[in-house]
């Protein structure tokens, strides 16, 4: 059986699974944050007597629902409790397998860019895994240190660490690989927060109730802190998941700056939504997030290209496209590891090339992310010829 075909199907199944369980996890997380911030004092005095601190009434799907939250715990635990954990664990498992398939098995295409750092495949994989492990160790260490007692100081240190990680990744890997590993680092932190802090804190709460003692408050405090971090990491992680579609960002010379700005914008926008749940939304927080997005867009404006000459005829660039692009962008690709033309783009005929002229110029000349890792060794002079052809009207 063709290896590229099997790889393509594994990619599809893992990506689909990752998306499904990720939606389940993030959806549950967003819902409970919304629910917690919309609880109101219980209407029935009997509920207050039972230790219920807040409730919410809702209508959905043709039915009425009520959700109630105890101040500590019910007098008697029910025989079955649902633990929201496997949504997170499944997201990490499917995401890691997808990372291994796309970025480690396909490291030469998706992860390594010799013009950034001439890494071998083992070196690139080791560095990628190292960032996942180090990301958690540094983050967890900061949270458990004295800095973790002050949310403002801790937030500043975490932002600084994320900025350093973004800079380092973008100076080690291809832009696409760097963005994905930044998101994978944050996503790993989020899941390990659930595994090592949030779920153990919930188990302590249940254990204390079963043993008839007061729960240790530090578990609740640390669990709440990690949950807050998780919700603010969510939008930056979601951006990195779709970032491979935006070569103008990850292929930019300042790609690490753009990554930091968009991540900060996502976190601020999420802060605003959480505030909005509490009817205390600060418009300045939303404005700051939107301003950062606007600054990112301005910084990402296409750079002027030195054309270095007059227009180039189609007959001059067609051999370049044939030799440097068609190995991947063909009905039947000849490039090892490519089972189908990426994004369905085929560049075998003059009409197909002309139809994709803007995309060819953007990715091969402006962002220079194609060919990935410059696998087909396109030269600067050949890129310039494509630019001159495009500037002349792509006739």
pLDDT of 309 higher than 80 = no
Q: Which residues contact 364 (CB under 8 A, 6 or more apart)?
A: 324, 325, 370, 371, 378, 383, 386
The answer to whether residue 10 is domain-embedded is no
What does the mean pLDDT of the chain come to? 92
pLDDT in tens, 74-104: 888 888 888 999 999 999 999 999 999 999 9
Cis (ω within 30 of 0) for the bond into 371? yes
Among 269, 299, 329, the domain boundary falls at: 299
pLDDT of 337 higher than 80 = no
Helices 121-144, 175-193: inter-axial angle, 10-degree rounding: 40
| pLDDT given for residue 1 in this prediction | 61
pTM: 0.90
pLDDT of 304 higher than 90 = no
Full domain range(s) for residue 265? 83-299
The answer to whether residue 52 is domain-embedded is yes
> Is residue 330 helix, strand or coil?
coil
Domain count across the chain: 3
pLDDT of 23 higher than 80 = yes
Q: Which long-range contacts (CB under 8 A, 24 or more apart) does 55-63 make?
A: none
pLDDT (mean) for 241-258: 94
CB-CB neighbours of 268 under 10 Å: 21
Instruction: Tell me, yes or no, whether 245 and 341 share the same domain.
Output: no
Instruction: Tell me, yes or no, whether 130 and 227 share the same domain.
Output: yes
pLDDT in tens, 117-176: 999 999 999 999 999 999 999 999 999 999 999 999 999 999 999 999 999 999 999 999
Instruction: Tell me, yes or no, whether 241 and 104 share the same domain.
Output: yes
pLDDT in tens, 60-74: 999 999 999 998 888
Instruction: Tell me, yes or no, whether 93 and 234 share the same domain.
Output: yes
Instruction: Tell me, yes or no, whether 60 and 101 share the same domain.
Output: no
The answer to whether residue 347 is domain-embedded is yes
Instruction: Tell me, yes or no, whether 329 and 381 share the same domain.
Output: yes
| pLDDT given for residue 176 in this prediction | 95
Name the helix (H) or strand (E) containing 66: strand 63-70
The answer to whether residue 192 is domain-embedded is yes
User: Rounded distance, CA 175 to CA 177, Å?
Assistant: 5
- What are 202's two structure tokens? 């919930």
Confidence of residue 192 (pLDDT cuts 50, 70, 90): very high
| CA Rg value for the chain | 25
The answer to whether residue 344 is domain-embedded is yes
Instruction: Tell me, yes or no, whether 64 and 134 share the same domain.
Output: no
The answer to whether residue 309 is domain-embedded is no
Instruction: Tell me, yes or no, whether 48 and 96 share the same domain.
Output: no
| pLDDT given for residue 365 in this prediction | 86
Instruction: Tell me, yes or no, whether 160 and 237 share the same domain.
Output: yes
Instruction: Show the DSSP H helices in 72-215 as ranges.
Output: 86-99, 107-110, 121-144, 151-170, 175-193, 199-211
The answer to whether residue 308 is domain-embedded is no
Instruction: Tell me, yes or no, whether 346 and 291 share the same domain.
Output: no
């Amino acid at each position: 059986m063709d290896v590229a075909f099997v790889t393509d199907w594994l990619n599809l199944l893992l990506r689909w699974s990752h998306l499904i369980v990720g939606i389940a996890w993030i959806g549950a997380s967003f819902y409970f944050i919304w629910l917690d911030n919309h609880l109101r004092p219980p209407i029935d005095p009997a509920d207050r007597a039972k230790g219920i601190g807040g409730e919410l009434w809702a209508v959905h799907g043709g039915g009425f629902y009520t959700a109630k939250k105890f101040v500590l715990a019910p007098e008697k635990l029910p025989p079955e409790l649902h633990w929201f954990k496997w949504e997170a664990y499944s997201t990490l498992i499917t995401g890691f397998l997808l990372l291994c398939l796309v970025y480690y098995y396909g490291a030469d295409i998706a992860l390594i860019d010799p013009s950034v750092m001439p890494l071998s495949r083992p070196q690139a994989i080791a560095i990628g895994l190292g960032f996942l492990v180090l990301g958690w160790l540094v983050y967890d260490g900061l949270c458990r240190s004295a800095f973790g007692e002050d949310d403002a100081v801790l937030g500043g240190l975490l932002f600084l660490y994320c900025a350093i990680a973004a800079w380092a990744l973008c100076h080690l890997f291809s832009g696409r690989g760097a963005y994905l590993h930044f998101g994978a680092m944050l996503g790993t932190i989020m899941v390990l927060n659930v595994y090592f802090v949030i779920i153990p804190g919930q188990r302590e709460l249940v254990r204390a109730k079963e043993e008839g003692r007061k729960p240790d408050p530090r578990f609740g405090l640390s669990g709440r802190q990690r949950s807050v971090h998780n919700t603010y990491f969510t939008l930056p992680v979601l951006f990195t998941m779709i970032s491979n579609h935006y070569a103008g960002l990850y292929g930019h010379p300042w790609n690490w700056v753009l990554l930091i700005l968009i991540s900060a914008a996502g976190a601020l926008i999420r802060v605003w939504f959480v505030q909005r749940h509490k009817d205390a939304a600060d418009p300045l927080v939303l404005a700051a997030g939107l301003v950062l997005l606007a600054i990112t867009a301005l910084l990402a404006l296409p750079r002027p290209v030195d054309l270095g000459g007059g227009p180039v005829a189609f007959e001059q660039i067609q051999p370049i496209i044939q030799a440097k692009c068609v190995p991947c962008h063909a009905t039947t690709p000849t490039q090892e590891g490519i089972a189908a033309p990426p994004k369905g783009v085929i560049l075998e005929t003059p009409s197909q090339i002309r139809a994709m002229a803007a995309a060819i110029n953007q990715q091969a000349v402006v962002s220079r992310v194609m060919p990935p890792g410059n696998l087909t060794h396109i030269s600067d002079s050949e890129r310039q010829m494509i630019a001159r052809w495009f500037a002349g009207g792509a006739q």
